[in-house]
Chain A
Amino acid sequence: MADFLLYALLAGLALAVVAGPLGSFVVWRRMAYFGDTLSHAALLGVALGFALDVSPTLAVTVGCLLLAIVLVTLQQRQPLASDTLLGILAPSTLSLGLVVLSFMHDVRIDLMGYLFGDLLAISPTDLAWILGGSALVLCLLAVLWRPLLAVTVHEELATVEGMPVAGLRLALMLLIAVVIAVAMKIVGVLLITSLLIIPAAAAQRHARSPEQMALGASLLGITAVCAGLALSWFKDTPAGPSIVVSAAVLFLLSLALPKR
């Protein structure tokens, strides 16, 4: 197998495994739009990374974390609904990213690669970032699993029972931010949320516990990555979109299967 295909496969699988449990939380807590906003902001992170001459992956991680904090602060300070705020922040940060990039005449970047992913161009360094980031997020999710679940079920009950609710909520946002930063190479900023949401939504109908849903989502994600890469390899289709299309097909199949 060619090296680049192996890298692509490993990166895709790492992302699929962590996207299962994290995507389940995104579905349960109705954070799909939040994920979308963060991923749009990722492009701004890329632009700033070039402007300040730091690693784009690092810049994107920091950028997403900052946006998550800005969002939480805005939510607490003023009365606009969250979806309105997200509707302001998502296109604004994406546009700002594009504007900043246009100022840098000496930088040639593959915009399509950032928007839709360039999985087959992953370098060993990128792969290390992706594996490390995914492992970190997976460990933190395992440790925080029960408190996060308690907060998702009922925030006030969790508060009274002594859990640090605001901290947990922020932690979940930060985990999503890290995953988006590392996933950008794989499926691009415009497609990242689909990898979080589609497998989780497909697993939802057939799961009887939160853990089953998370695990099922990971397995479906792995299947989608393999199928998408195969499609890309044999039919020369773009890798990221092929993975998303595979995931969507799996979702449709899950609807066709009778509910347990």
Chain B
Amino acid sequence: MSEALIRLEQVGVSFSGETVLERIDLAVAPRQIVTLIGPNGAGKTTLVRAVLGLLKPHTGKVWRQPRLRIGYMPQKIQVDPTLPLSVLRFLRLVPGVDRAAALAALQEVGAEQVIDSPIQTVSGGEMQRVLLARALLRKPQLLVLDEPVQGVDVVGQSELYRLITRLRDRYGCGVLMVSHDLHLVMSATDQVVCLNRHVCCSGHPEQVSGDPAFVELFGQTAPNLAVYHHHHDHSHDLHGAVITPETHVHGAHCKHG
């Protein structure tokens, strides 16, 4: 994968002695949509922050293509209520953006109606679209989305995922996103990485949704998605640590301890 936009090798992060991520390998290629899924506290946001360079991993390394333009859509954004800022001005904080460019980006994501609204009054679903528009204005080679459909209703969610796929097709950018919504993610992604402090399993959604590690993590919802099965030979304790039975045979894709 020499053409990868970004590549993580054996990345580990710990906060005050507590291991949050260990031995993570991850790569995103141009035009590829990679989705990170995993339970709360699995380290998804931490991993995203390492990818973005907001956090230095304690072990391993993060390689980014030189001069990689990243469009980042944060989980949520809270603008101080005393700051009078319209959506247009918010988008124009990206250098070189005029009203026409901002309007075009908003139309692309279907939120042109809020262009002159104060940013604090924009609803959750519209805000996600505005954030996506800001990421697009950077003409990104890599789009990083942290829970892009948070606070969006179900219809809006699948629409937003379709939009992300369409943007990928149109701009040819790689996409790395974090998600909780298993059903919707599966149809819109090329690779799923199932994370629980380590990479539990990764691969094409059809493989992963049947992976027992995946079933283990997501419980009852998972079988509905299952297309493909193989045997699972490790499980997790409450802290997400791997409990490896005696019979476990390490395979090529095993990334845990």
A residues lining the B interface (CB < 8 Å): 27-30, 146, 149-150, 152-154, 156-157, 159-161, 201, 204, 207-210, 212-213
B53→A209 contact, CB < 8 A = no
**A156-B54, A159-B54, A160-B52 given; A150·B93 CB < 8 A:** yes
B interface majority secondary structure: loop
Q: How many A-B residue pairs have CB under 8 A?
A: 58
B86→A154 contact, CB < 8 A = no
Contact of A157 among B53, B74, B89, B95 (CB under 8 A): B74
Chain B residue numbers with a CB within 8 Å of A204 are 82, 84
CB closest residue in chain B, given A158: B93
A153→B52 contact, CB < 8 A = no
Q: How far is it, in angstroms, between the C-alpha of A209 and the C-alpha of B74 when the chains are bound?
A: 23
Residues of B167-208 whose CB lies within 8 A of A: none
A209→B86 contact, CB < 8 A = yes
Chain A residue numbers with a CB within 8 Å of B93 are 146, 149-150, 153
Contact of B54 among A29, A160, A208, A209 (CB under 8 A): A160
- Does B27 sit at the interface, judged by CB under 8 A? no
**A209-B89, A210-B89 given; A157·B83 CB < 8 A:** no
Ranked nearest first, the 5 interchain pairs of A and B with the lowest CB-CB distance are: A160-B72, A150-B93, A28-B83, A207-B84, A204-B82
Q: How far is it, in angstroms, between the C-alpha of A157 and the C-alpha of B77 when the chains are bound?
A: 9
Q: How far is it, in angstroms, between the C-alpha of A42 and the C-alpha of B44 when the chains are bound?
A: 45
A210→B54 contact, CB < 8 A = no
Contact string against A for B residues 57-100, beta-carbon threshold 8 Å, 1 for contact and 0 otherwise = 00000000000001010100101101111100110011100000
Of the A-B pairs whose beta carbons lie under 8 Å apart in the complex, a sample of 15, sorted by A's number, is A27-B82, A28-B83, A30-B80, A146-B95, A149-B93, A152-B80, A153-B93, A156-B52, A156-B74, A157-B74, A159-B54, A204-B82, A208-B86, A209-B89, A210-B85
A213→B72 contact, CB < 8 A = no
B residues lining the A interface (CB < 8 Å): 52-54, 70, 72, 74, 77, 79-80, 82-86, 89-90, 93-95, 118, 134, 138, 144
Q: How far is it, in angstroms, between the C-alpha of A154 and the C-alpha of B127 when the chains are bound?
A: 14
Shortest CB-to-CB span from B74 to chain A, Å, is 6
Most chain A C-beta atoms within 10 Å of own C-beta, residue among B79, B84, B95, B138: B84
B72→A156 contact, CB < 8 A = yes
CB closest residue in chain B, given A146: B93
B54→A161 contact, CB < 8 A = no
Chain A residue numbers with a CB within 8 Å of B84 are 204, 207-210, 212-213
A28→B86 contact, CB < 8 A = no
Most chain B C-beta atoms within 10 Å of own C-beta, residue among A28, A159, A161: A161
A28→B72 contact, CB < 8 A = no
Shortest CB-to-CB span from B139 to chain A, Å, is 12
Most chain B C-beta atoms within 10 Å of own C-beta, residue among A29, A30, A146, A157: A157
A28→B82 contact, CB < 8 A = yes
Chain A residue numbers with a CB within 8 Å of B80 are 28-30, 152
CB closest residue in chain B, given A152: B83
Q: How far is it, in angstroms, between the C-alpha of A256 and the C-alpha of B118 when the chains are bound?
A: 22
B85→A154 contact, CB < 8 A = no
Q: How far is it, in angstroms, between the C-alpha of A210 and the C-alpha of B90 when the chains are bound?
A: 11
Shortest CB-to-CB span from A132 to chain B, Å, is 30
Q: How far is it, in angstroms, between the C-alpha of A164 and the C-alpha of B70 when the chains are bound?
A: 16
Shortest CB-to-CB span from A27 to chain B, Å, is 5
Chain B residue numbers with a CB within 8 Å of A209 are 84-86, 89
B82→A153 contact, CB < 8 A = no
Chain A residue numbers with a CB within 8 Å of B77 are 153-154, 157
B79→A161 contact, CB < 8 A = no
Q: How far is it, in angstroms, between the C-alpha of A88 and the C-alpha of B210 when the chains are bound?
A: 57
Chain B residue numbers with a CB within 8 Å of A30 are 80
Chain A residue numbers with a CB within 8 Å of B52 are 156, 159-160
Shortest CB-to-CB span from A162 to chain B, Å, is 9
